[in-house]
Amino acid sequence: MRFHKEGYVIMTTAALITGVIVAAIWILLGNSMGWLSALLSLVPLVFLYLIIQFFRVPNRTIAGNSTEVVCPADGKVVVIERVYEPEFLKEDCIQISIFMSPLNVHANYVPITGNVVYTKYHEGSYLVAWHPKSSTENERSTMVIETSSKKRVLVRQIAGAVARRICFYASPNHLYEKGDEFGFIKFGSRVDVFLPLDAHINVSLGQKVKNREDILATL
């Protein structure tokens, strides 16, 4: 396991603040109230632990063959439905949405090997990530991957009420391998995947999934 580059400054700052708070607690209360000092020290230490957990990047094996779409994010499947995708595909698709809580790994990965034919960043609002309009009104980034068989998969990062920074690394006209990192969203958010109607869906509503390890669908 390693830690994501987007977290270096935040983790360092959080560690320094935690150290100052813990030191202040022990200086003010001292050993005479050791039990209280220890109890109060747990609060900033737990907070630091949660921040470190948020930026972890576990080592994982990329699952599936060339026709299988892997999950681009850790989290919980909150939407599986047929929708019209108006931004680029402009056709009916199967939308699968994965909600990432603050405790999930927040790096995002390319779900299938292919050439990136479209990217776009949109400024927007910060509705809660599970709000129906968050997919079209929140801050978001869109990427479309075209496979060697000419099938297109659209992936959209969506910021939420807490997550207010989308990091997006994908470049247009670039061939990406399945499992390559394409972005990161800080502190809770959502990733939508739009698949062709004939895709075979391998996940169910409410299912908890892991990026790169779980198969989202088969094209």
Alpha-carbon torsion, ordered 13, 14, 20, 22, to 10 deg = -170
Catalytic residue among 41, 97, 141, 189: 189
Rounded distance, CA 129 to CA 141, Å?
Answer: 14
Assess whether 189 carries a catalytic annotation: yes
Per the DSSP assignment, residues forming a β-bridge with 119 are: 143
User: Contacts from 207-210 at CB under 8 Å and sequence distance 24+?
Assistant: 207/76, 207/77, 208/75, 208/76, 208/77, 209/71, 209/73, 209/74, 209/75, 209/76, 209/77, 209/98, 210/60, 210/71, 210/74, 210/105
137, burial (CB in 10 Å: exposed 0-12, middle 13-18, buried 19+) = middle
**Calpha distance 160→89 (Å, rounded):** 24
Active centre residues (catalytic): 189
